[in-house]
Chain A
Amino acid sequence: MKTTKTAFASCLLALAAAVTAACGGGGSRSVIQNKGSDTLVNVAQAWAEEYAAVAPGIAVAVTGGGSGTGIAAMINGTVDIANSSRKMKDSELDLARGNGAEPIEFVVGYDALAVYVHPDNPLDEVSLEQLASLYGEGGEIESWSQFGVEVPGCGSDEIVRVSRQNNSGTYVYFREAVLGDRRDFRLGSRDMHGSKDVVDLVENTPCAIGYSGLAYATDHVKMPCVRTGEGGDCVSPSVETAIDGSYPIARPLFMYTAGEPQGAIREYIGWVLSDEGQCIIYDKGYAPRGDVDCS
Chain B
Amino acid sequence: MPELAQAADRRDAAWWIDRMVQILVLAGGLSAIVFIAGIFVFITREGAGFVFDRFDFREFFGSPRWTPTSSHNPTYGALALIAGTASVTGLAMVVSVPFSLGAAIYIGEFATGRVRETLKVLVELLAAIPSVVWGFIGLSIMNPLIIRVFDVPVGLNVLNAGVILGLMAAPIMTTIAEDALKAVPDTYREAAEAMGATRWQVTFRVVLPAARNGLVAATLLGVGRGFGETMAVLMASGHSINLPTSPFDSVRALTATIAAELGETAAGSDHYGALFALGIFLFLVTFAINFAADVFVRGGQRKHRRRGRRPAASANP
Q: Which A residues contact B (CB, under 8 angstroms)? A: 65-69, 72, 91-92, 154-156, 158-160, 165-168, 171-172, 175, 181-182, 184-185, 187-193, 200-201, 204-208
- B207 an interface residue at 8 Å Cβ cutoff? no
Would you call A158 and B153 a contact (CB within 8 A)?
Answer: yes
Residues of B within 8 A of A208 (CB): 153-154
A167, A182, A191: which contacts B264 (Cβ < 8 A)? A167
Give the CA-CA distance A207 to B71 in the complex, in Å. Answer: 30
Contact with A along B238-279 (1 / 0, CB 8 A): 111110000000101000000111011111000100000000
Tell whether A205 pairs with B260 under 8 Å between CB atoms, given A187-B241, A188-B240, A191-B252: no
Residues of chain B within 8 A (CB-CB) of A200 are 139-140
Closest to A37 in B: B264
Contact A166 B153 (CB under 8 A): no
The docked-state distance in angstroms from the alpha carbon of A64 to that of B242 is 30
Stretch among B45-53, B143-151, B195-203, B292-300 lining the A interface: B143-151
Determine whether the beta carbon of A191 is less than 8 Å from that of B143.
no
Listed by A's residue number, 5 A-B pairs whose Cβ atoms lie within 8 Å are: A68-B264, A68-B266, A154-B153, A187-B241, A191-B240
Task: With both chains docked as a complex, state the minimum distance between the C-beta of A107 and any C-beta of chain B, in angstroms.
Answer: 21
Closest partner residue, chain B, to A181 (CB atom): B71
- Check if B228 is an interface residue, CB within 8 A of chain A: no
Task: Give how many B residues have a beta carbon under 8 Å from the other chain's beta carbons.
Answer: 39
- Nearest-CB residue, chain B, relative to A66: B264
Interface residue ranges of B37-68 to A (CB < 8 Å): 64-68
Do the beta carbons of A206 and B147 come within 8 Å of each other?
yes
Closest to B73 in A: A184
Name the A residues within 8 Å of B154 (CB-CB).
Answer: 160, 190, 201, 205, 207-208
Q: Which residues of B contact A160 (CB under 8 A)?
A: 153-154
Evaluate contact between B234 and A168: CB separation under 8 angstroms: no
Among residues of B, the one whose C-beta sits closest to the C-beta of A200 is B139
A286 to chain B, nearest CB (A): 21
A193 to B233 alpha-carbon distance, docked (Å): 12
Q: Write the nearest CB–CB distance from A70 to chain B, whole angstroms.
A: 10
Q: In the complex, what distance in Å separates the CA atom of A181 from the CA atom of B139?
A: 33
- Nearest-neighbor residue (CB-CB) of B265 within chain A: A167
Contacts of B263 in A (CB 8 A): 65-66, 69
Whether A204 touches B265, Cβ cut-off 8 Å, given contacts A158-B153, A165-B260, is no
CA distance A69 to B238 in the complex (A): 25
A172 contact set on B, CB distance < 8 A: 69
Q: Which residues of A contact B250 (CB under 8 A)?
A: 188, 190
Contacts of A190 in B (CB 8 A): 154, 156, 238-240, 250
